[in-house]
Amino acid sequence: MQIDGFKIAVLHETYLHVDGGILFGEVPREDWELFLKPDERNRVKIGVNQILVMGEKMNILIDAGIGSKRQSVKTAFLPPYYRTSFRKRLMSFGLIPEDITHIIFTHLHADHVGGALTIKDGHLLPVFPFAEYFVQKQEWDSALSFEGDAKRFVRIQDLLPLSAAGKIRLLNGDVELVKGIFLEVTGGHSEGHQMVTIKGEGKTFVFPGDICPTEYHVHEGINTAANVKPSDFAASKQLFLRKAVASDTVVAFPHSINPVFYKIRDTGENYVCEKYL
């Protein structure tokens, strides 16, 4: 998809199995299993996707995925699916990891940051050695302070070598990162979660991060249960949906099993999602 000087693509990495009760929150299983069938452990399959934005003298990734250096999320969530390396996925666009200039983290959960580093000869090394990494300071500080069970969702350890190398850029609130690319703090899902909007002449792209993780979650009554501040999450999701229904706006989702672009439509009773061709 093209927006002014930016070419935008959805990169599919792999799948996860997550508990249906976490993914769909208060929605009864008898309702959500109509569109995502659970396995014998009540888990459903979701995608892991990132966004590639190619512009003049810049190549930007939104999120870095799981990666392959270690089990960065619980083993129960990782069935034996392939995990396609960034090097292989970028090749189809004529790029290599060394060409990436910016990485935007929507938040610091393991399935969004784990692919930023790899292990070679026992050492953590950046997959994207020439990139700078952009995250909200509130998210960074919150991740550093996590204790106990919450650590299974956060891989701040993966990012400390990048911080030591001066590659992490901590943001204080909403910002226009480069001309036409806007980062907006949403909170809700995590303390400093942010969504990304790319605005051009006659077309807008919005990537909501885990405020709206799949196409099913555009429905007002479907929300995940894995949110640090549910009230902020609900407000931020409404903000996203109001943006997304504009006639010139296209979206993509981090956990759709269909790594494509979508249009969101307001029916008057609820929101529906349709693939954008």
Written as one letter, the residue type at 183 is L
The structural domain count of the chain equals 1
Q: How far is CA 18 from the centre of its chain?
A: 16
- Distance CA(74)–CA(199), nearest Å, equals 37
pTM: predicted TM-score of the whole model, two decimal places: 0.93
Query: Which pLDDT score is estimated for 76?
Result: 47
pLDDT value at residue 149: 46
Q: Tell me what pLDDT residue 147 has.
A: 52
Residues of the chain short of pLDDT 70, as ranges, are 69-83, 147-155
The CATH number that applies at residue 195 is 3.60.15.10
Q: Which pLDDT value is given to residue 121? A: 83
- Apex CA 216: angle with CA 211 and CA 222, to 5°? 65
Strand pairing category for 271-275 and 117-120:
unpaired
Q: How far apart are CA 263 and CA 255, in angstroms?
A: 16
- pLDDT for 72 equals 47
**DSSP codes joined into one string, the chain:** -EETTEEEEEEEEEEEEEEHHHHHTTS-HHHHTTTS---TTSEEEEEEEEEEEEETTEEEEE--B--SSS--S-GGG--S-----HHHHHHTTT--GGG--EEE-S--BHHHHGGGEEEETTEEEESSTT-EEEEEHHHHHHHHH--GGGGGGB-HHHHHHHHHTT-EEEE-S-EEEETTEEEEE--SSSTT-EEEEEE-SS-EEEE-GGGS-SGGGGSTT---S--S-HHHHHHHHHHHHHHHTSTTEEE--TT-SS-S-EEEEE-SSSEEEEE--
Strands 194-199 and 204-207: antiparallel
Pair 146, 154: CB distance under 8 Å: yes
Q: pLDDT tens digits for 78-119?
A: 555 556 789 999 999 999 999 999 999 999 998 999 899 988
Q: Which value, to the nearest 10 degrees, does the dihedral of the CA atoms of residues 156, 158, 162, 168 take?
A: -40
Domain that holds residue 202: 2-275
Q: Yes or no: say if 61 and 52 are a contact pair by the CB < 8 Å rule.
A: yes
Confidence (pLDDT) at 184: 98
Contact of 129 with 100, CB cutoff 8 Å: no
Instruction: Look at phi and psi of residue 67 and say left if phi exceeds 0, alpha if psi is from -120 to 50, else beta.
Output: left
